[in-house]
Structure 1
Amino acid sequence: MALVSEFLGQLSLNVGSSESTYPTVVPATNFDPEKDAARIETAVKTKGVDEQTIIDVLTKRTYSQRREIAFAYERRAKKDMITALKAALSGPLETVILGLMKSTAQYDATEIRGSMKGLGTDEETLIEIVCSRSKDELMEIKTVYKELFKKELEKDVAGDTSGDFAKLLLALVQAKRADPSAVVDYEKIDEDARALYDAGVKRKGTDVASWISIMSERNVPHLQKVFDRYKSYSPYDMQESIRKEVKGDLEKSFLTLVDCFENKQLYFATRLGEAMKSKGVKEKMVTRIILSRCEVDLMKIRSEFKSHFGKSLYQTIAEHTKGDYQKALLSLCGGDD
């Protein structure tokens, strides 16, 4: 029963998050974990596996409900549900369903761990998660990371990255960002805007440390005003300044941060659009964004997607994916716009 205790032992549900949520996966009404567990057991035992039932049940329940189903399954089948699902499923559908058996924070922690394990680092995944999560989310990811892998996230990030890129990621993982305040400090806004300009465009070479401290420690509403004010000092906006001043993973990280400060849901919508614009779908990215945001803000990402690309996320997924994987993603997407 190792897997159930590993992933389901801790019920972490983004408690204390100050951000509003716009999930596409909401608690099922008239929820009966015993009945759901029986349906899953039958689906797994069926010759050829009844994937549709597994999709219908697990994509339409929240993490806490899936967790109850797993415990009910264990009581009736005397077996671990995650192990049974793993044996019954394969390919991208298996990835989606097993991903759903983790909380959002557990899923993020596992994805971060996967991006750093083995030879080479998957910087794209690392940047996307670390640079887009709120202070509350990052604090929870760190706790869960230690529970699951018996290691400190900071130590792993430091060991796997280097230079200014490592310094920025570590500053973010330390989660020192100030909480939003009802008081708007115009003097501080001006001071920070000036400091960003002085540390970058104004001088030869970039004082990256100044950029890191401002972008990792100030609250988001404050930074939005700072970037606006920045334009009165610099001939370029913040994004253009970043492109001129730094390169590589550091550039990608700063750009991700600024995009997320300005409109996080548009950032994810754009990523999904990029992942599905060609014939070869970036399956890993699509899966990661849908799974990690379906209980957070996927409803808002959907609406940003429609206004940015002129077609719905639902239609785009339907066009670019197929089979049971497609059915699972469409179900998590929660409808057409």
Structure 2
Amino acid sequence: MAALGNRGTVTEAAGFNPDADAKKLRDAMKGVGTNEEAIIEVLPYRTIAQRQRIKEAFKLAVGKDLADDLSTELSGNFRSAALGLLMLPPVYDAYELRNAIKGAGTEEACLIDILASRSNAEINTINAFYKKQYGKSLEDDVCGDTSGMFQRVLVSLISAGRDESDKVDEAQAIKDAKEIYEAGEARWGTDEVKFLTVLCVRNQKHLIRVFEEYKKISGRDIEDSIKREMSGCLEDVFLAIVKCIRNKPAFFAERLYKSMKGLGTTDSVLVRTMVARAEIDMLDIKAEFLKMYGKTLYSFIKGDTSGDYRKILLALCGGE
């Protein structure tokens, strides 16, 4: 699960002037009504680092937080996207996790998307920001809002203890595959703890070998076995872990596709994924999306969203 390097669609704006951008945003929110176009011309076309400098320039010039003004002036999905763009990645992740836990009901998809896809270092930073911002540990809040084996998998991921070396132990990989098979397909009932021990702890290269061996033993992909043996959130989190291990951009491409396919759009998933991945691996996600679904991500967003919200997402998509 090593980082791919910067394969994002958002790159540094040439001739960047934080004071000019801050003024443009300030002017966009002056008087009656808001000039959303001016906001769209700035925020999605600046890097995270550049947006931090705009925030500083805005506060210096106005004596107020840019996020507070945007929060007052904007609404709905457009506001969610704009505010997300102003946050540093671990702050945004912590914010999304908090909202997923503390809203009406729990948005399990958010917990899964973030915790299954982040590195140990990223999760440790999220944990630190979460505790600082909300006064409680992420683990405590997750434990207060989830239960059973699903909770145990999330706690394991929050603990950020995955081996991140490149070492593949061939004998152990064969043993892991055999034990997962015996914990699931080969018995009545499922020993989910064995799945947790292997899927939440082993490194990426080792797990790829485990998946290969598993297919030899069982005759099917591990994803198929998870679908047969489990259900609900537990099935979802184990599938997410496996998919992120195999191909993280493909995992996010599928999440984006499912957020827009069918009746209505799951806006929270769409916004979170576009904002969080725009500067990391959106180019790879777009390539996987085209390969998997035969249509561009850009065309899907264009056909499934509307108004200013659509414009900000299309900007983050970086064109066709």
The normalised TM-score by structure 1 is 0.90
Deviation at 1:236, TM superposition (A): 2.5
User: Residues of 2 paired with 1:328 and 1:49: CA distance?
Assistant: 15
What percent identity do the matched residue pairs reach?
A: 40
User: Residues of 2 paired with 1:233 and 1:100: CA distance?
Assistant: 46
Deviation at 1:107, TM superposition (A): 1.1
Deviation at 1:185, TM superposition (A): 2.2
Matched, 1:157 2:142: yes
SS at match of 2:180: helix
User: Residues of 1 paired with 2:156 and 2:147: CA distance?
Assistant: 13
User: Residues of 2 paired with 1:184 and 1:127: CA distance?
Assistant: 26
The unaligned stretches of length 5 or more in structure 1 are 1-16
The aligned counterpart of 1:80 is 65
The aligned counterpart of 2:34 is 49
Q: 2:235 aligns with which of 245, 251, 257?
A: 251
Alignment of 1:274-285 (within 5 A): 274-285=258-269
Paired residues in the alignment total 319
User: Residues of 2 paired with 1:148 and 1:140: CA distance?
Assistant: 12
Comparing 278-287 and 207-216, the one that deviates more: 278-287
The aligned counterpart of 1:67 is 52
SS at match of 1:168: helix
Q: Check the 8 A contact 1:279/1:320 in 2, yes or no.
A: no
Alignment of 1:68-217 (within 5 A): 68-181=53-166, 183-217=167-201
SS at match of 2:116: helix
Q: Check the 8 A contact 1:199/1:210 in 2, yes or no.
A: yes
Q: Check the 8 A contact 1:275/1:282 in 2, yes or no.
A: yes
Deviation at 1:19, TM superposition (A): 4.2
Letter in 1 for 2:305: T
Q: Check the 8 A contact 1:18/1:136 in 2, yes or no.
A: no
The aligned counterpart of 1:287 is 271
Q: Check the 8 A contact 2:70/2:83 in 1, yes or no.
A: yes
SS at match of 1:67: helix
User: Residues of 1 paired with 2:234 and 2:248: CA distance?
Assistant: 19
Q: Check the 8 A contact 1:201/1:245 in 2, yes or no.
A: yes
The aligned counterpart of 1:304 is 288
SS at match of 1:280: coil
Deviations 1:181-217 (A, max 9, x none): 2x43212211211121122212222221111011111
| 4+ residue runs over 4 A deviation | none
Letter in 2 for 1:211: F
User: Residues of 2 paired with 1:300 and 1:331: CA distance?
Assistant: 16
SS at match of 1:175: coil
User: Residues of 2 paired with 1:251 and 1:39: CA distance?
Assistant: 47
Alpha-carbon distance change, 120 to 87 in structure 1, aligned in 2, over 3 angstroms: closer
User: Residues of 1 paired with 2:98 and 2:63: CA distance?
Assistant: 30
Q: Check the 8 A contact 2:4/2:281 in 1, yes or no.
A: no
Deviation at 1:79, TM superposition (A): 2.2
Deviation at 1:277, TM superposition (A): 1.7
Matched, 1:31 2:16: yes
Letter in 2 for 1:48: G
User: Residues of 2 paired with 1:79 and 1:162: CA distance?
Assistant: 41
Matched, 1:224 2:208: yes
SS at match of 1:176: coil
User: Residues of 1 paired with 2:11 and 2:122: CA distance?
Assistant: 19
Deviation at 1:20, TM superposition (A): 2.6
Deviation at 1:80, TM superposition (A): 2.0
Deviation at 1:32, TM superposition (A): 1.1
User: Residues of 1 paired with 2:291 and 2:284: CA distance?
Assistant: 11
Q: Check the 8 A contact 2:94/2:129 in 1, yes or no.
A: yes
User: Residues of 1 paired with 2:36 and 2:255: CA distance?
Assistant: 28
Compute the RMSD of aligned alpha carbons: 1.5
Letter in 2 for 1:193: A
User: Residues of 1 paired with 2:106 and 2:279: CA distance?
Assistant: 27
Deviation at 1:119, TM superposition (A): 4.3
The unaligned stretches of length 5 or more in structure 2 are none
Letter in 2 for 1:188: Q
The normalised TM-score by structure 2 is 0.95
